A and B are shown apart, each in its own frame.
Chain A
């Protein structure tokens, strides 16, 4: 009995110490959320000299969904030897992973954000206010606008892409077709391709986002008419049921009803679609220009080209839709706010941007920062983008995509949904996100 009392006591001590240490650990990891911001001013005071010879080593964590430019990171570390950049690529489910980290106030310094995450995270004080930084002037104005919420700048999107139609130049040459610049011309070209026995278009359906460009391609035109159109939609001032949006699904639905999409392709994921296009089973593939990666210099099956999607009727201007969504933001509880700013300043330099552009094979929002040689067809594409009007699309509010994408699938499946009813459903989804 004595023994049991002793052992019980021992167990109690053990259990209590375990619990206490576990809770203590929790508190420590939870604390920087509040104490981090308090500690940061002192850190920035001591770190005001940028040269930093005898600085404590600092590790900057940068979260992104695409790989960062390794060459730019090396250059940055060369210039600031005391800083080590720790790239943290989350290729899949980025939004969800980053949300979990933000909720748990994980150790973060810099993170990419999608444009439609900005307002929410600004409201929750997650992002560092960088309104006062001089580098803002180096970027395209529309890019800075995308990182600005209620007049304060919290970041800037870095790469930009254009919404285009990739096409098989060999097919166009053989049939004697020109690159279309209006909707009517596109229909004409598609009709001739179909008559030749080839499917004009291929687009998947499993990755629903990849099917959106024939309708999302109109966002540019909407924005060109009214630069604040998406803010107005998000606040309820405009409605998706308004007559100006009535033809939103029109182009996709017309192509689908005329049978211009490859048969039996709704179950395909985007990777399979690319494969099918590369095998020459369809002549055109609407996608963002990031898919240039799929056609490296050694791709020899056919000559590939790209043109901005002409959703404009004859007489209307062709507005190129640019997508720029990787907004570099600083996290407000970062332990190294000074170094975050150093990095932001570094990437805003045109020579850094060019290096990045070449390395990541895409255009960059830094003015004069896009390398003309990032891809064999880069120059042609850049020219056709610059010769037209272009706008950066700020992305829809969070509830929109889950409602919008399945509608595209309905159209592709030729279920012939009532398009006006679809716009009503778009509006219903929008209302969930009213501010």
Chain B
């Protein structure tokens, strides 16, 4: 009976397992293989070149640029986006008039198509036709109005970060609100009785009990920013002068533009390993901070 059950389980498992190996496991394994070859992308013949691709990745100056931009994106976006979204979540968790409508407005950018957002913002930033220069001009900030935000190596990556923050703040706010609703009102009540003020309640109760939501949000953002591609591709294509290259744009460039998919694959493997390491570290650290209710 037990053996038969096992067989039945396996039978039920087989179709899904087969599809999974065909469409996920297979490509992952073949990708691993091609990362060690000089595959040109058209023929099926590829020469095994060992670790050459990986060595070249580390000596490629663009690798350093991509790493730097990945750090900037992750740190800037996470710090600012999460500060704002926690603030908004606490604010819009109150029973106020029009609160549902405001939540919807803030969440709205998250459902827009990223490519569309990229094009809209390219125009918003443009010093000739854009909204932003006109806005700064109206405020009398002439120097800011004259800046070509996406056309300067020192501002482009931050201009892009701003768009990402704008797009995803509502999304992480929703996750924080779900977290807030899981905090029992009894705790706040007893804190009030003990004489805690609003600030103390926020830092001693709300924030510690939000850590699970912070973990989820941070991991999602870190992964999203590490594999960033769309925003950058649409707004700057990695330029000007390679200053906004990230792993996503580099991998695309090598794999499809310059007939070096072997090299691109090697970079993709490194990126996957990097994402795994960072994610595991973040989860470990944040888990330690978690407080049981």
Q: How extensive is the interface on chain B, given as a class?
A: 35 or more
On whether the beta carbons of B257 and A95 are closer than 8 Å, the reply is: yes
The 3 closest A-B pairs by CB, nearest first: A267-B151, A266-B151, A267-B150
B237 CB contacts on chain A under 8 angstroms: 206-208
Contact of A413 among B14, B153, B257 (CB under 8 A): B153
**Smallest CB separation, B257 vs chain A (Å):** 6
On whether the beta carbons of B127 and A126 are closer than 8 Å, the reply is: no
Mask: chain A, 376-418; 1 = CB below 8 Å from B; 0 = not: 0000000000000000000000110110011101101101000
On whether the beta carbons of A267 and B240 are closer than 8 Å, the reply is: yes
Mask: chain A, 55-76; 1 = CB below 8 Å from B; 0 = not: 0000000000000000000000
| Total residues of chain A contacting the partner, CB 8 A | 47
Instruction: Tell yes or no: B68 within 8 A of A by CB.
Output: no
**Smallest CB separation, A426 vs chain B (Å):** 14
On whether the beta carbons of B260 and A264 are closer than 8 Å, the reply is: no
Instruction: Tell yes or no: B125 within 8 A of A by CB.
Output: yes
On whether the beta carbons of A8 and B122 are closer than 8 Å, the reply is: no
**Smallest CB separation, A265 vs chain B (Å):** 7
Chain A interface: which of B4-12, B84-92, B176-184? B4-12
What CA separation (Å) do A99 and B4 show in the bound complex? Answer: 49
B8 CB contacts on chain A under 8 angstroms: 4, 8
**Smallest CB separation, B137 vs chain A (Å):** 13
On whether the beta carbons of A205 and B147 are closer than 8 Å, the reply is: no
On whether the beta carbons of A18 and B15 are closer than 8 Å, the reply is: yes
What CA separation (Å) do A102 and B1 show in the bound complex? Answer: 52
Instruction: Tell yes or no: B212 within 8 A of A by CB.
Output: no
B151 CB contacts on chain A under 8 angstroms: 205-206, 264-268, 413
Instruction: Tell yes or no: A276 within 8 A of B by CB.
Output: yes
B7 CB contacts on chain A under 8 angstroms: 8
A-contacting residues, B118-151, CB 8 Å: 122-123, 125-129, 146-151
On whether the beta carbons of B42 and A103 are closer than 8 Å, the reply is: yes
Instruction: Tell yes or no: A96 within 8 A of B by CB.
Output: yes
**Smallest CB separation, A406 vs chain B (Å):** 4
What residue of chain B has the Cβ atom nearest to residue A116's Cβ? B259
What CA separation (Å) do A174 and B256 show in the bound complex? Answer: 48
Query: Which of A4, A5, A264, A410 has its CB near the most chain B CB atoms (within 10 A)?
Result: A264
What CA separation (Å) do A95 and B258 show in the bound complex? Answer: 10
Instruction: Tell yes or no: A19 within 8 A of B by CB.
Output: yes
B239 CB contacts on chain A under 8 angstroms: 205-206, 208, 405-406, 409
Instruction: Tell yes or no: B236 within 8 A of A by CB.
Output: yes
**Smallest CB separation, A108 vs chain B (Å):** 14
A434 CB contacts on chain B under 8 angstroms: none
What residue of chain A has the Cβ atom nearest to residue B126's Cβ? A272
Known contacts A205-B239, A208-B237; is A5 also within 8 Å of B146 by CB?
no
Known contacts A206-B240, A266-B148; is A120 also within 8 Å of B257 by CB?
no
Known contacts A265-B148, A399-B258; is A413 also within 8 Å of B126 by CB?
no
Instruction: Tell yes or no: A42 within 8 A of B by CB.
Output: no
Contact of B41 among A99, A275, A415 (CB under 8 A): A99
**Smallest CB separation, A16 vs chain B (Å):** 9
Could you jot down 12 A-B contacts, CB within 8 Å?
A8-B11, A11-B11, A15-B15, A18-B15, A206-B150, A206-B239, A206-B240, A267-B148, A267-B152, A275-B128, A399-B259, A401-B258
Instruction: Tell yes or no: A269 within 8 A of B by CB.
Output: yes
- Interface set of B (CB-CB < 8 Å, partner A): 1, 4, 7-8, 11-12, 14-15, 18, 40-43, 122-123, 125-129, 146-153, 156, 235-237, 239-242, 253, 256-260
- Interface set of A (CB-CB < 8 Å, partner B): 1, 4-5, 8, 11-12, 15, 18-19, 93, 95-96, 99, 102-103, 120-121, 124, 126, 205-208, 263-269, 272, 275-276, 281, 398-399, 401-402, 405-407, 409-410, 412-413, 415, 432
A406 CB contacts on chain B under 8 angstroms: 239-242
B150 CB contacts on chain A under 8 angstroms: 206, 267
**Smallest CB separation, A98 vs chain B (Å):** 11
**Smallest CB separation, B62 vs chain A (Å):** 9
What residue of chain A has the Cβ atom nearest to residue B263's Cβ? A432
On whether the beta carbons of A398 and B257 are closer than 8 Å, the reply is: yes
What CA separation (Å) do A150 and B199 show in the bound complex? Answer: 78
On whether the beta carbons of B153 and A11 are closer than 8 Å, the reply is: no
On whether the beta carbons of B42 and A1 are closer than 8 Å, the reply is: no
On whether the beta carbons of A281 and B241 are closer than 8 Å, the reply is: no
On whether the beta carbons of A272 and B236 are closer than 8 Å, the reply is: no
- 15 new A-B contacts, CB < 8 A, other than A103-B41, A264-B147, A415-B153, are A8-B7, A19-B15, A102-B42, A120-B40, A206-B236, A264-B127, A265-B128, A272-B123, A275-B129, A276-B128, A398-B257, A401-B257, A402-B253, A402-B258, A406-B240
B14 CB contacts on chain A under 8 angstroms: 15
What CA separation (Å) do A206 and B232 show in the bound complex? Answer: 11
**Smallest CB separation, B33 vs chain A (Å):** 16
Contact of B152 among A12, A268, A413, A432 (CB under 8 A): A413
What CA separation (Å) do A410 and B239 show in the bound complex? Answer: 10
What CA separation (Å) do A406 and B129 show in the bound complex? Answer: 24
On whether the beta carbons of A5 and B126 are closer than 8 Å, the reply is: no
**Smallest CB separation, B143 vs chain A (Å):** 12
